[in-house]
Structure 1
Amino acid sequence: MTLYIGNLSYEATENDLREVFEKYGAIRRIVLPVDRETGKRRGFAFVELADETQEAVAIDDLDGATWLGRVLKVNKAKPKQPGGQSNSSL
């Protein structure tokens, strides 16, 4: 399972996310998308932890939490839709 982290500060880095999520277990990967044209972060990320139970705890702890001045939206990421569009929850 992969977590979707929405309403993320544009200042957040992969290392920032790693610091927060490593408390919940081993991180398999972090994806912090950037806009193709501007190279700026897009305000959301995906984090995959090694254990689904730990991901559920992370959702419970972090969904609605304020971090870097923003109220986070953390939930299970939805699978990518055909045609390359993701269907993340907002």
Structure 2
Amino acid sequence: MTRDEMFMRQALEIARQSAAEGEVPVGAVVVKGENVIACGRNRRETKKNALCHAEIEAINGACSTLGGWRLWQCELFVTLEPCPMCAGAVINA
């Protein structure tokens, strides 16, 4: 299994957890080098918040972990093409 496949499998497992909670099954993993920095999954229904997409949750977690909003040299693995809101967040991170 390649490195990318390994991280995508993690994102898919997170998406399965999201589906089990009645959410849209999307998972996201932020990676820096060989390390997972943060993960996220859709929680719009659980949190009753339209902004709780997997990508946003993962980016928020990565910013907290790394102590800044610029996620230089990080990669995002996500199970679905990002919506316009999430694509904007990815570009800005």
TM-score (norm 2): 0.35
Structure number with the higher strand fraction is: 1
TM-score normalised by the chain length of structure 1: 0.36
Higher helix share: 2
